[in-house]
Structure 1
Amino acid sequence: MPMYKKAMFILLIIVAAAVGGTYYGLHDEEKSAVLESAGTNEGNLPAREITVYVTGAVNKPGLVKVPEGARAADAVNACGGLLPTADSEKVNMAQALKDGQQLKVPEKSVMANKNDVSKSDRSNVDKSKAGGSGDLININTADEKALDTLPGVGPAMAKRIIEYRETEGAFQSIEDIKKIRGIGEAKFAKLKDKICI
């Protein structure tokens, strides 16, 4: 009999531990469910919106609100899309937008029907395509090789300029090039007559 009582006592301890563990596990699971449902409510909140100013060759230029993390294409679509005269190749439509950013969609250079263009007009068009006075380099569209030809800009600096365009968006003025690490006032003074946006 003492062996039987001992076994019963051990069995009761095991059952009590199992019941206690189950109760504790269920109690913790209820706490988890409360935390998960609180997180789910946050997920139901509307995504934070940012405001972007879209100008240029779009149907309805102006301020638009887009969800945080939106791309340039989303802002252009919010403005009714591109005009037929828009030069979409000059805008990185995959560029991530930031609150307060200005996105400018340029127009294609005006090219009349070749039959209607006189020789003098044609030479003016050719000059504007080449960059006009002194073949300025567009810091928003130039490739690494073209940027490398600028005074004081080597291959590493050219890469930094392109990386800046890809992460921060197009330069809004030629002075913005000073935001590139390594370009200060002295280097900008050498560059300013050779670059454009």
Structure 2
Amino acid sequence: MQLRCGLEPKTLAALVVVLVVAAVLAAQHFWSGRPQSVSAPETVREEVAVSGPVREPAPSPGPAPTAAASSGKRVVVDVSGMVRSPGVHRLPAGSRVTDALRAAGGVRPGADLTGLNRARVLMDGEQVVVGGPAPPGQPAPGAGAAGPGPGGPGPGGSPVSLSTATVEQLDTLPGVGPVLAQHIVDYRTQHGGFRSVDELREVNGIGERRFADIEPRVQP
């Protein structure tokens, strides 16, 4: 080729190099462009853990009521008679007669508790008399179980004093229950006692008919 084309050795060497490079590039291009078999991608399955229904945590209970909150309301009662420490005592609202007796140091030996309901709930401002004779003009505690017939005087023939009677004693009057008896005591406390029997008409819950039944059995 050198003799025919008159090429110099250097030129011929360069041409050979170019041809070799071209052949390599052609072979590389052919190799990269050949068809290839492609396999299908494997299916990836993600396992999802099945869990039960989500439950929200139960709300924590609120703080327990303190002793000060539970005993915020109090009742004041007068415990007298055959107890070790008679006097005025302050007790939590909802206390019973037995709690008042305990606050007064307990009952003295020989006291008669027959007519005293120790399970009764105390009312503010009442008096609890334990044993002993009743004050003048007042029936003995619990004597209302054998009250007189309509129109008669109080138990023992003595009228009930509106200014000094306890809730239990007022409860012996006809048509007067614990609630109405407490209303009478509240009126007495607010007005400093009863100056006349006619003031009963001003007590909440006493109408003319009930007043007519109570009037013969009470005194101011």
Query: Normalization by structure 2: what TM-score?
Result: 0.45
If the length of structure 1 is used for normalisation, what is the TM-score? 0.49
Task: Give the structure with higher Rg (CA).
Answer: 2
Give 1 or 2: higher helix fraction.
1
Higher relative contact order (CA 8 A, sep 6+): 1
